Amino acid sequence: MTTLFSSVIRLHALNGGALRHDAGQWANAAFYGILHQVDPPLAEALHQWNGRKPFTISSLNGLPRGDSREVVIPPGWECWLRVTTLGQEIFQPFIQRFIQGGARPQLQLGPIDFGVAEVLTVPGSHPWSGYVESEQLLAQADAAERIELLFASPTAFNVGPRYELVPLPRLVFGQLASKWNAFLPQAIDRESLEAVADEAVMISDFRLQTRTQNWKGRVQNGFTGECVYDLSALGEGQRRLFALLADFAFFAGVGGKTTQGMGQARRVVGSSPG
């Protein structure tokens, strides 16, 4: 049994300054800093981890308006970021930093120090928070003929030497199956799923736009918005499998660089799973 967690960290700026809109690398560094304070070997192991990692990190949300590259944050400004973890092994030391005694925790993102107001993980406490057992996700997977996914932060797929900026069914659900197989039980046949996605899953509607993400001094193109997938040509069991992966996207993220702010995604069903 594996528990999936999504935690929203509510922050307020302790000092003012300028920050890039998509400061995903700063949030990534802050996350590792938290883990290093509590469990240095775990932080180092995750830092050296090759391949897909069992967590995602958003960029800062709720920032003031600014130009295309940076925004000025005044002291006291409230915003939030989100961390998801696939399993207790990372969640427990991560959350321990916020519940242990001592001084109120702070996070540094670039030139700005933020105070932590609260960490929300209980389902319903925030639209992007929650937790669920993997077995529960399996049990509640429905046989919908239509699945809509919201891509809330820039998303892109690494396809050989290039990045694909269209949420093709094979890429979205194949990548989710790969991440499921890496960290959760009840393995999914990825090759068969991708073949089905190519042959029988259609994009029936979309509202997408291109956005850029600053990443380690480089600009990464991605897309955001909503995409609807038509599963009506599939059998009931296949539809349940695609619905399972759509629900899993809330915790797993979609595409590349999900630990630096990209690929924050969720199924649009009125509320988050969990």
CA distance 145 to 236: 9
Please give the pLDDT value at position 67: 59
Give me 222's structure tokens: 């991605």
Distance from chain centroid for Cα 255: 10
Please give the pLDDT value at position 61: 92
Please give the pLDDT value at position 272: 45
Q: What is the 3-state secondary structure (H, E, C) of 79-147?
A: EEEEEEEECHHHHHHHHHHHHCCCCCCEEEECCEEEEEEEEECCCCCCCCCEEEEHHHHHHHCCCCCEE
Residues of the chain with pLDDT under 50: 271-272
Q: Where are the beta strands (DSSP E) in 25-75?
A: 55-57, 70-73
